Structure 1
């Protein structure tokens, strides 16, 4: 077995694991809003058509960001977003150059988008309540684990890329090796 075939096999396994893990954000961004609203559109929708268009754009953008993030975990990180099958490499490419947590941000955007599209304020309440455990998980579990796993490379990344609100320009590590350390 060559190094390239092993790498291809690892990337394939990472892609499959990431696809399976997709059930988690699909549940949070799709099933939970459906359970709360049955996707019933309140009439009239507060904010009217402009709110609904904004909501549809947020849902589409959220889905695209989640898909892009999954691709980066499988190809760049050679792992999954799941804590039980973490990436082998620090993921700092793609949208991760703008914000450290694009998946959480995109899930929030998708839920908020549904709230706007459907005119369902309860989705904003659910989003607010759901934000608390996510922030606690990121601060108390994810960040310490990433610091222990990737050390100085993660610290440099953390200093340069915001946790929740994206940068306007992509971050580029000082040296390519620092992103891979």
Structure 2
């Protein structure tokens, strides 16, 4: 992987999942995060961490797969040059979005924030609309028959 591709992936990782699953949730549930830091960990804290770490692992795996096999980034502004159907993409057409959703759900569990749960539902809705109306049509145009065949064998979500 070239240094340029690495830096572009780093930039878009910070910009997109970093903001969606990091900065905004922190701003929404700041008081809940601070309150959690002041008390002894309970079961919901451990569960939230486990779900969030799973999401981080999935997301980082997918970003690496995009760079190595797709020769691109997670950003629609700098998409992959090759259709990525390996790794977690054998089981879901959108595992990176699943990973981000797990991060958000983990944060909502950890903080027990209703606002963060509502935000997560809104983000899932936005993801789904973006995938159906923007991303899938672009992938059909860019990858044609390969993408069509892929869609026949792999579900959109899980």
Give the structure-2-normalised TM-score: 0.89
- Which residue is equivalent to 2:136? 143
Unaligned runs of 5+ residues in structure 2 are: none
Q: Which has the higher helix share?
A: 2
Q: Deviations over 1:98-137 (max 9, x none)?
A: 1111111111111110111112121111111222221111
Runs (4+) of structure 1 exceeding 6 A deviation are none
- Which residue is equivalent to 2:95? 102
Q: Deviations over 1:139-161 (max 9, x none)?
A: 00100000111111111111111
Unaligned runs of 5+ residues in structure 1 are: 1-7, 166-181
- Does 2:34 match 1:40? yes
- Does 2:42 match 1:49? yes
- Which residue is equivalent to 2:110? 117
Q: May I ask how many residue pairs the two structures share in their alignment?
A: 153
Distance in 1 between residues matched to 2:77 and 2:62, nearest whole Å: 17
Alignment RMSD: 1.9
Match among 22, 30, 41 for residue 30 of structure 1: 22
Distance in 2 between residues matched to 1:99 and 1:54, nearest whole Å: 24
Give the structure-1-normalised TM-score: 0.78
Which structure has the larger Rg? 1
CA 1:115 to 1:41, structure 2 compared with 1: closer, same or farther past 3 Å? farther
Distance in 2 between residues matched to 1:41 and 1:152, nearest whole Å: 52
- Which residue is equivalent to 1:157? 150
